[in-house]
Structure 1
């Protein structure tokens, strides 16, 4: 059972929680907001699981009663939005969720650099359910940050391999806005800057990373990165730099966090 012609729904979870029906914002109480958000983020879920996730501090009978009330109020106010299949709850398939669109774009960025400028814009300044501090929300926020980091690093790597070093630099910088100590992004930014002839900028960025890594974690950059930077000293030729830091065998590899 799905939306029964009562109007199309749209849900925003990025930036702020907002539900719209036929383009008009709908005021929804906090308890119902959390139920709808949980189903939008986690997908179809059993009632016991939802009750424990949304009301972890309450005994199971009380949590289930809170869930029952949230379901009742949501169904009464927003007929067609919730889909009930026994103990399993889900949202209507036609619901348009901004988080789902973002995740589709992240998946696209892992496979293609087409529309790189639009992808970069979409992946920046992403804040999932700001001001929500429940454990399940914090976990999803962290997971989304990690997915953005991987997608931006992969995008930067492919753009550099295609010779679009300016866009590669922008993607790497966007990744470093999320995690300043992400070594794969540091490597990509250094390479792209060198390939564009921005030698001072490339080495300054590396030195800042090296100093921050030492201050925050008490370790140095990986030997591989240090060796590659040293090989680039005095090498200002774009093609030579590309061969040094983008050997063909490394292209397409999964970006990895640097582990001391």
Structure 2
């Protein structure tokens, strides 16, 4: 039995290098031998026909000359690394028992579970950092043969995907400086990826360095002008305008002309949704502080209560954007006050709305064999078009309804393993008793078991909820889990009301008589303020 050689460490990212026992080994002197060796490492699991390798090394030569060059290359490799090759009459491969560690192989092993959506959230930062540390440059960066290009591009895109995933994971873990460092690395590798530059600008601002955010925007704008002769997207421009306002830069000479002329009010644009969130900072911070456990496999439920027009939907929109920016998936369901018994259940609406084909494939890869059939049956019900008519039919046998609810619990539990998941259920005061019972059953099932990255946000109107005794019963049961938190939205104070008026009209100066009048007449209700402005102007 031959002696096992020391482990050979293969570096294919950047310049081609080989190491044994911590010492860099000289490569074969022959360029053909180096090309062949790098190709074999890159395709280490395959057996290769001699003629194919000969053609790869010298595609313009005759078969005789190409085979001669191949034999010479093989001789150089055997001389440097005895036992590395397994050669047969017609085929050549790497010896299966030769100890190898190939950086490209390790790189993909760290990344591919997250690309497939089956990587463990708690290991993501460690695994992805290891992957990007292995990426010391593009694949075989000094090799210009045709066979390298497609694989080089594939691995580069995989590297960018790992960086993006790592940025999201760091944001979710509140590691904003680490997220910024990774985003800057991504910008260096892919300088025209504008969504990443928006992340950099936001992260600079979040870390208290708004001047760096403005400077980064300026540098990016100059890059776009130089490379493409164009300005940043409107979304990026709007981001800078908001930061500039907050730090008192009323004029930014490098800022392109906005798509909407400065000073044009939201009345003229007809888009009040573009208003920043006003007067709800404390409530937003409290809710985000409560539900950030979704990024750390901690389940929570938040109930937001408030009268019509008080701003529940607008607050939820801002929270949704924050959560999605940090890497959570947010799915939405809304109860319908018209013919509620015929409407699709809001929880089912939320779940089916987020079940893309890719997500379903991910769930299938995560499920155990004993629960696979339950997953298939539940997905068939959800996606079969029967949900709106018989899913909550009161004549269904009790055990059948419980089986379906177990199936939903199974789906949500698996889903939260693939990605932090937040379900927003709006206007749930309109929902029927069966909807609340199903919600409580699922919450008790999921939140009292294995830790899951699932949070639920519910909005209701208090008066309508009081008229439906089953809501009180359901909330009592949810409170019993110890995971329910309640937030009541109150009318805006006068300063916030004034700010809303000025922002909506795009003015800077106070309008004391009108502002006081509107505040008194509307009681600080945001919707009433905006509707009154429409009537007045």
Give the alignment's TM-score, normalised by structure 2. 0.40
For 1:7 and 1:102, locate their aligned partners in 2 and report how far apart those are by CA, in whole Å.
24
1:92 corresponds to 2:103: no
1:17 corresponds to 2:16: yes
* 8 Å contact from structure 1 (residues 7, 21) kept in 2: no
> What is the Cα deviation at residue 91 of structure 1?
1.8
Find the counterpart in structure 2 of residue 47 from structure 1. Answer: 50
Find the counterpart in structure 2 of residue 221 from structure 1. Answer: 232
Cα separation, partners in 2 of 1:50 and 1:201, compared to 1, 3 Å: same
1:35 corresponds to 2:33: no
Provide Cα deviations, 1:144-179, integer angstroms capped at 9, x if missing partner: 333222211221122113221111100000111112
For 1:194 and 1:167, locate their aligned partners in 2 and report how far apart those are by CA, in whole Å.
14
Cα separation, partners in 2 of 1:22 and 1:161, compared to 1, 3 Å: closer
1:66 corresponds to 2:69: yes
> What is the Cα deviation at residue 73 of structure 1?
4.1
For 2:322 and 2:66, locate their aligned partners in 1 and report how far apart those are by CA, in whole Å.
54
* 8 Å contact from structure 1 (residues 159, 165) kept in 2: yes
For 2:67 and 2:154, locate their aligned partners in 1 and report how far apart those are by CA, in whole Å.
27
* 8 Å contact from structure 2 (residues 168, 326) kept in 1: no
Give the alignment's TM-score, normalised by structure 1. 0.76
For 1:143 and 1:231, locate their aligned partners in 2 and report how far apart those are by CA, in whole Å.
37
- Structure 2 stretches of 5 or more lacking a match? 248-280, 289-317, 330-357, 359-537
For 1:36 and 1:78, locate their aligned partners in 2 and report how far apart those are by CA, in whole Å.
11
For 1:101 and 1:15, locate their aligned partners in 2 and report how far apart those are by CA, in whole Å.
15
Cα separation, partners in 2 of 1:184 and 1:82, compared to 1, 3 Å: farther
* 8 Å contact from structure 1 (residues 15, 126) kept in 2: yes
Cα separation, partners in 2 of 1:39 and 1:141, compared to 1, 3 Å: same
For 1:107 and 1:170, locate their aligned partners in 2 and report how far apart those are by CA, in whole Å.
22
Find the counterpart in structure 1 of residue 126 from structure 2. Answer: 115
For 1:59 and 1:252, locate their aligned partners in 2 and report how far apart those are by CA, in whole Å.
58
Find the counterpart in structure 1 of residue 177 from structure 2. Answer: 166
Number of residue pairs the alignment of both structures matches: 251
* 8 Å contact from structure 1 (residues 14, 98) kept in 2: yes
1:248 corresponds to 2:249: no
Cα separation, partners in 2 of 1:87 and 1:247, compared to 1, 3 Å: farther
* 8 Å contact from structure 2 (residues 10, 102) kept in 1: yes
Cα separation, partners in 2 of 1:117 and 1:143, compared to 1, 3 Å: closer
- Structure 1 stretches of 5 or more lacking a match? 255-260
Q: What RMSD in Å do the two structures reach over aligned CA positions?
A: 3.7
> What is the Cα deviation at residue 217 of structure 1?
1.0
For 2:176 and 2:230, locate their aligned partners in 1 and report how far apart those are by CA, in whole Å.
29
For 1:249 and 1:197, locate their aligned partners in 2 and report how far apart those are by CA, in whole Å.
18
> What is the Cα deviation at residue 21 of structure 1?
4.8
Larger relative contact order (CA 8 Å, sep ≥ 6):
1
Provide Cα deviations, 1:63-89, integer angstroms capped at 9, x if missing partner: 233223323443455332112366443
Cα separation, partners in 2 of 1:78 and 1:59, compared to 1, 3 Å: same
Cα separation, partners in 2 of 1:33 and 1:188, compared to 1, 3 Å: same
